[in-house]
Amino acid sequence: MSASIWLRLSDEQESSLTELIERLANTHGTVPFQPHLTVCSPQSEASWEAAAEYVRTSKALPLCVGRMRISFSTTAPMMAVVIYVEDSPDLRTFREDLRRITSAPEPPPPHISLLYTVDETGRQPGWSSNETRLKSIAEECARQVDATEFVFDHPVIVSPDGEWTNIRSWRTVRML
């Protein structure tokens, strides 16, 4: 089963970013999703219990990290518009420990996605490689996101039904 360990935001921040993500998806014909920071992607379910034990005994949460910048990508559909956050020592240690415990590959730099260029069919819309459009969306997001720091305190394991491009199928399969 394909899965990822996510850190979800504190309730207030999650609500605010969820509203923004839904607005962006509706405006641009893509699929909304829950805001999160991907910690790692375990290679098998066998490591989930070890990950849960690590989280239970860890003193790392909640993790507070600063906002660095809002950026965009014309080549990575799952990072079309993102908030890059600082790779603080505590976050780095948390991610590295869980990656080691779960035998997960190296995750991308820490970020919170705001827009994926993936539509209902799992395909990219025609405008997904339009640098001008994505830059404009990123600039709009920079004006709308006031937070300079994010608090992550809800670790979960999320899995899709099939491919990750089937965004509507993403489900929390375990709270850690």
The tens digit of pLDDT for each residue in 1-56 reads 899 999 999 999 999 999 999 999 999 999 999 999 999 999 899 999 999 999 99
| Cα dist from 156 to 7, 67, 72, 94, 127, whole Å | 6, 22, 26, 14, 32
Residue of 19, 33, 36, 2 whose CA lies nearest to 110: 36
Question: How far apart, in whole angstroms, are the C-alpha atoms of residue 28 and residue 80?
Answer: 12
CB 42 within 8 A of CB 104: yes
The tens digit of pLDDT for each residue in 97-118 reads 999 999 999 999 999 999 999 9
Q: 4-175, superfamily in CATH?
A: Cyclic phosphodiesterase (3.90.1140.10)
Residues in the chain: 176
Domain ranges in the chain? 4-175
Write down the pLDDT at residue 1: 81
Helix residue ranges, H only, 58-130: 89-102
Mean pLDDT of 160-176: 96
Residue of 81, 36, 66 whose CA lies nearest to 147: 66
Q: 28-56 burial, b for 16+ CB within 10 Å, e for fewer?
A: bebbbbbbbbbbbbbeeeebbeebbebbe
The tens digit of pLDDT for each residue in 121-167 reads 999 999 999 999 999 999 999 999 999 999 999 999 999 999 999 99
Q: 131-163 burial, b for 16+ CB within 10 Å, e for fewer?
A: eebbeebbebbeeebebeebbbebbbbbbbeee
Burial (0-12, 13-18, 19+ Cβ within 10 Å), 171 = exposed
The tens digit of pLDDT for each residue in 42-101 reads 989 999 999 999 999 999 999 999 999 999 999 999 999 999 999 999 999 999 999 999
